[in-house]
Structure formats: C-alpha cells, structure tokens
Amino acid sequence: MTQSLKRRRLEAIINGERPDRPPVSLWRHWPGDDQAAESLAAAHLKWQKDYDWDLIKVSPASSYCLVDWGVKDKWEGAAEGTRTYQKRLIKKPSGWEKLQVLDPAKGMLATQLKGLDLVGEALEKEFEDSPPFIATIFSPLAQAKNLTGQGRMLSHMRSHPDAFRRGLETITESTIAYLEAAKKTGISGIFYAIQHARYEVMSPAEYQIFGRPFDEEILAAASDLWLNMVHIHGEKEIMFDLIADYPVQLLNWHDRDTGFTLAYGLEQSSAAVCGGISRWSLLQESPEQAMAEAEESRELTGGQRLMLGVGCVIMTNTPTRNIRALRECADIG
C-alpha cells in the first residue's frame, strides 16, 4: 500500500526535512454533533472533504471522559463550542479516593471509540490521499478540574495531597485504558491537552508533583504511536520550558498570545511545532491578518519543522473564506 503524501509531509517535518509544502490543519469543537458517534464522525469527515487537511484532530466534548463518572454538562451556545458543567462529581477531598477506573467499552467512552472507528474506516475507503487522524486526550489535571471545578480542585490538591494524588492515579489508569482501546481504531497518535502548566494557576513545584508524572505515564503509553502532539493551553504565563522536553512529535501552544514564538519553540524542543496563526486573526472579517501571520511563520521557521495551524480550537463562527484562505496559502511553495 502506497504511503499517503500527507503522512510523508508530516514525517518530513518531524525528521527536520523540508517537505514539498508545510502541512496544515485546523480543528474546532462540534457541539451537539459530539454527543453521538455517527454525527461526530460525519462532522470530521465533511471538514476533511471541504478543506483537505493534512491531519485530522478528532475533537470530542471536554466531558467525554467524565460523563461515565456522573458529570453532567450542556452546550449553551458558546462560540468556542465549550460546554457548561451543571453537575460536578467530587465535593469533598474523600471523593478522589472513591473514583473507580472506567471501562472504555461502556457509556460515552464507547461512543467516542465508535466515532474514531467510523472516522478511520471512512478515511481508508473514501479518500485517495488519506490523512492521519489523532484522538484527543485531556491530562489528568484537566479532567480533575472538570470533575470538581477549578477552585475546589486546587484547594483539595493543597489541603489533601495524598487523596488528590490517588484520584489522579485513577484518572490516569482510566485514560490509559481508553488510549489502548483507541489504538485499535487506527489512530496515528494523540492530541494531549495540558491546561494547568500555567504560573497563574499553580507553581512549577506543584506541577512537577501533580502534573508531569501523570503526563509522562500517559505519553509513555502512547509512545508506540508515530504522531503525538502536546497542546499547552493558556494565553499567558505558560510553563513552556517545563513541557518543551516532552517526548512527542509535535508541540502546539498559543504562540501568538504567549510571547513564546515558533522560533523559540524550535530552539527549546526537538519536536516540530504546530501553530503560527492566531485564532482571533481567523475570526476577523477578512483573512488578511491571518495570511500575514502564516507568511511570517514560514519565515521564522524557514519552512522546516512547521505545521501551520492555530494555538487552540478555532471558533465555530470563523468565516469560511478565512479558513479556505489559510488552507490555500499552504499550497504556495
């Protein structure tokens, strides 16, 4: 079977080689559609048919890994596609020790796995130059935050560290079980979303205790995949240097907002970088600013070890002509 051009393009930037053109991809949330396997898969497949991306990052609701524990949430119209948490699970520190490892063959986890399976099957059958696709995995701290709320999580972390750590261990075990099941759907890697490596949230010492060890455990479980990406979430005060050495192929962050440029990222990390365009530039009435950022990003990196994209999800109301313009600019050698 001939290897797809899209895969060769991505492997080139990972290996520090110059591809025929920079790979490019955008992703967004699919509120409502992300609640069922068939509609989630259909949304991603149409996205690919419309724009021919080099990589598909499958974007579930942030709650997909939590609903089977009893969390309830709802999309209430947010343009980013984010959901409002209406019922949290953990109220007291002792709740972390009561968490049970989830079965990925049941409930919402099974729904998401079916969605990944449908995407993989359709890409193989319906696309001549099939792109790799990766599954979204939220870090244990990100999951813990949504299980109880940010303020309460930080309070429990500091007042009852042993109980909280046991909760993180359970979350990590559940996450790895899901990841192992997701591998069977044909994913090429994971999009590992980190939300708490930020100085405004916790100290580096706290992240070294409650963040990094669990990140490393999950990334080790994904190490047999060839296309893993870490996303450092946050538009200011991110702990970039603490994450830059993570063993992944792609590193993604809000490079246009944080002050950490793509060039700096290439210096600090052996991974290729993904970004260069602000999602707020794409949200403008015209694509001019986004196109200028794309050109500058190619100059900053010399067109090597670069996948053009954004630092986070684009808004669901991003003008389609701006999306089209970014996709087409990647074709210019």
pLDDT band of residue 2 (cuts 50, 70, 90) is low
Residues 85-94 have a mean pLDDT of 96
pLDDT digits (tens, 9 = 90+) for 250-295: 999 999 999 999 999 999 999 999 999 999 999 999 999 999 999 9
CATH classification at residue 226: 3.20.20.210
Quote the pLDDT of residue 303: 86
Average pLDDT, the chain: 96
| pTM for the structure as a whole | 0.97
**The residue count for the chain:** 333
pLDDT of 79 higher than 60:
yes
What is the per-residue pLDDT across 141-172, written as a single tens digit (0 to 9) for each? 999 999 999 999 999 999 999 999 999 999 99
Sign, Cα dihedral of 257, 262, 267, 271: positive
Say if residue 101's pLDDT is above 50. Answer: yes
End-to-end CA distance of the chain: 27
Rounded to whole angstroms, how far apart are CA atoms 157 and 333? 50
Task: Label each residue of the chain as H, E or C.
Answer: CCCCHHHHHHHHHHCCCCCCCCCECCCECCCCHHHCHHHHHHHHHHHHHHHCCCCEEECCCCCCCCHHHCCEEECCCCCCCCCEEEECCCCCCCHHHHCCCCCCCCHHHHHHHHHHHHHHHHHHHHCCCCCCEEEEEECHHHHHHHHHCHHHHHHHHHHCHHHHHHHHHHHHHHHHHHHHHHHCCCCCEEEEEECCCECCCCCHHHHHHHCHHHHHHHHHHCCCCCCCEEEECCCCCECHHHHCCCCCCEEEECHHHHCCCHHHHHHHCCCEEEEEECHHHHCCCCCHHHHHHHHHHHHHHCCCCEEEEECCCECCCCCHHHHHHHHHHCCCC
pLDDT at residue 1, as a whole number: 47
- Residues of the chain above pLDDT 90, percent: 96
Q: Rounded CA gap, 19 and 277, in Å? A: 20
Rounded Cα distance, 324 and 32, in Å: 24
276/263 Cα distance (integer angstroms): 10
pLDDT at 75 over 60: yes
pLDDT tens-digit map of 169-225: 999 999 999 999 999 999 999 999 999 999 999 999 999 999 999 999 999 999 999
Nearest to 195 by CA among 171, 209, 211: 211
3 has pLDDT over 80: no
For 60, the domain range is: 5-329
Q: In this model, does residue 94 exceed pLDDT 80?
A: yes
CA distance 237 to 200: 7
Q: Which of 160, 53, 49 is nearest to 96 (CA)?
A: 160
pLDDT in tens, 46-73: 999 999 999 999 999 999 999 999 999 9
Percentage of the chain modeled with pLDDT above 70:
99
Whether residue 168 contacts residue 141, with contact meaning beta carbons closer than 8 Å, is answered with: yes
Tokens of 202: 């916790």
Question: pLDDT-based confidence at 332, cuts 50/70/90?
Answer: confident
Q: According to the model, what pLDDT value does residue 262 have?
A: 96
Report the pLDDT value the prediction gives residue 169, as an integer from 0 to 100: 98
Count the domains in the chain.
1
Residue among 192, 99, 91 at smallest CA distance from 151:
91
